[in-house]
């Protein structure tokens, strides 16, 4: 597998997981099972799906759209992200969503941070409450564009792309963990090695930004992965949803996504499982998909589903991966 193959698989895994979780996001496990049964492929948004109401099967959500936005800014800026431009683009994206009648809008941390910026609060302070998973869900392009061999330098890049909305110990540590796992995988690391790097990056990230209370990302990963590995396979959904957690809180959904990826022996089934858990399913599945793709390569994903995903959403991941890897070089 080449760098391009793994980078492409990471982007596709992100979007595949996002699209699988589109119809189930914010629903309970019980509601998902009643409306869809266990998720095994793309389905239309059901009658009780309010955020993505009426969206057809294989449609992506904010997870993929914000990741693509970040990738485009990285390419435009030759590897750097201009804070004011990023804020402007995010607000423009939300206006477009509102014009379409969509409720798939900016998350609570991002929304608050952008309101702060508009009120004249400095960029480093605007994201001082961002402890949710918004930075982690969009960080995959950072992992593709930056080598993680020097963890501290890598986390610097994560901070630069995250602090405007998620400038907290939890927000940065979670994004650093996901980005580092993707970067390590793109560079050829196995899943266990990628998880080790993710934990190291999370430790570094925990010392950045504004401290907020909560179980640390590194500490919860060290606990959650061996815990989940010891749970019988047919009880892992319950363990992920009820013990590790799948809410928008970074120390729940990001840890759940990385733990699920770490124990999964089939990438496609893994992200389908993530989409069935309840809670922030599109983000859990998207993060798990990005890491599984990076460590496994394009063979992880079924060609028919990839074709449907990229056609329906007009995605051009091959060229995007190429341009991001040029920055890595």
Per-residue pLDDT of 146-200, as tens digits, reads 999 999 999 999 999 998 899 999 999 999 999 999 999 999 999 999 999 999 9
In the annotated binding site for Mg(2+), the residues are 61-63, 280, 282-283
> Is 319 within 8 Å of 292 (Cβ atoms)?
no
pLDDT digits (tens, 9 = 90+) for 280-323: 999 999 999 999 999 999 999 999 999 999 999 999 999 999 99
Q: What is the CATH number of the domain that holds 246?
A: 1.10.4080.10
Q: Whole domain around residue 268: which residue ranges? A: 3-328
DSSP state of 25: T
| 86: confidence class by pLDDT, cuts 50, 70, 90 | confident
Predicted structure pTM score: 0.96
What is the number of structural domains in the chain?
A: 1
In the annotated binding site, the residues are 61-63, 280, 282-283
Residues 6+ apart with CB under 8 A from 136: 171, 174, 175, 177, 178, 179, 250, 254, 283, 287
């Amino acid at each position: 597998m080449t760098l391009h193959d793994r980078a492409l698989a990471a982007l596709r895994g992100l979007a595949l997981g996002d699209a699988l979780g589109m119809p189930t996001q914010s629903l309970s496990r019980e509601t998902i099972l009643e409306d869809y049964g266990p998720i095994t492929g793309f389905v239309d948004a059901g009658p009780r799906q309010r955020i993505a109401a009426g969206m057809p099967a294989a449609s992506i959500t904010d997870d993929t759209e914000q990741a693509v936005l970040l990738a485009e800014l990285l390419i435009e800026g030759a590897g750097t992200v201009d804070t004011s431009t990023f804020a402007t683009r995010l607000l423009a994206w939300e206006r477009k969503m509102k014009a379409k009648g969509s409720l798939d809008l900016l998350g609570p941390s991002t929304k608050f941070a952008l309101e702060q910026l508009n009120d004249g609060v400095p960029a480093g302070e605007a994201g001082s409450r961002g402890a949710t998973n918004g930075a982690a869900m969009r960080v995959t392009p950072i992992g593709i564009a930056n080598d993680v061999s020097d963890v501290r330098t890598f986390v610097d890049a994560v901070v630069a792309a995250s602090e405007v909305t998620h400038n907290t110990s939890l927000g940065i540590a979670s994004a650093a963990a996901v980005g580092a796992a993707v970067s390590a995988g793109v560079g050829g690391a196995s899943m266990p090695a990628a998880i080790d790097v993710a934990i190291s990056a999370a430790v570094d990230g925990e010392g950045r930004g504004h401290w907020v209370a909560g179980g640390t990302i590194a500490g919860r990963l060290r606990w959650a992965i061996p815990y989940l590995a010891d749970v019988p396979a047919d009880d892992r959904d319950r363990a992920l949803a009820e013990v590790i957690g799948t809410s928008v809180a970074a120390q729940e959904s990001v840890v759940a996504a990385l733990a699920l990826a770490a124990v999964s022996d089939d990438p496609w089934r893994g992200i389908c499982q993530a989409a069935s858990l309840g809670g922030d399913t599109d983000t859990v599945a998207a993060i798990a998909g990005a890491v599984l793709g990076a460590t496994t390569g394009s063979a992880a994903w079924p060609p028919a589903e990839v074709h449907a995903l990229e056609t329906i959403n007009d995605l051009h991941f091959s060229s995007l991966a190429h341009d991001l890897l040029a920055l890595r070089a």
